[in-house]
A and B are shown apart, each in its own frame.
Chain A
Amino acid sequence: EIVLTQSPGTLSLSPGERGTLSCRASQSVSSSYLAWYQQKPGQAPRLLIYGASSRATGIPDRFSGSGSGTDFTLSISRLEPEDFAVYYCQQFGSSPWTFGQGTKVEIK
């Protein structure tokens, strides 16, 4: 099983700042089958990024993904008030599909 470790656990930032979230895999993620999701309290997750760097439909371009192999990054160029949420990475290249434990982006 591929274990995904996200860091930091909590990221305290102000609106307008840049956020950088990390996801490290215990083994190489095949074909960049790596996704990022955003989840707000009481809501279902929302797909942001798939294939490590492709934005999902309707996702603003301030969200970008990068990385390959075992190291992946989600960047938020300028935080908007609606971006404060929990973010999860997920690998789907190897069964069982697994999620990271999440990074909470909170208002500083």
Chain B
Amino acid sequence: EVQLLDSGGGLVQPGGSLRLSCAASGFTFANYAMSWVRQAPGKGLEWVSAISGSASGTYYADSVKGRFTISRDNSKNTLYLQMNSLRAEDTAIYYCAKGLGGYHTGWGGAFDYWGQGTLVSVSS
């Protein structure tokens, strides 16, 4: 059974940093693209970042480029999101999401499994 367990959220002051983790199990982690998708309170979904299975390629939304870094440790089946210079508008539930395939298959951007989400609140 595929499982994704998000963690690492919390309350942080503007300008602060936070690192999210997503522990994956039930599939061959290195074979799939992984992404982070966020949802501000009461709002819709926003894709944040993606990483290829081998970690050779990383991709970001303009809203987080230069501030967030996605990475993965395939030996630990874990996905990460390092978030720096956090702003109030980054407040959201952050979900890790598994791609339907590898990034370069084209199907990495459809998300067939999601974590339960972890809440990031940026406030003074």
Contact = CB atoms under 8 A, between A and B. Distances in A.
Interface of A: 31, 33, 35, 37, 39, 44-47, 50-51, 56-57, 88, 90, 92-93, 95-102
A95 B45 contact: no
Contacts of B106: 31, 33, 92-93
Contacts of A95: 59
Contacts of A44: 95, 114-117
B89 interface: no
Nearest to A39: B45
Contacts, number: 62
Interface residues of B, number: 23
Contacts of B35: 97
Contacts of A92: 106, 108-110
Contacts of A46: 114
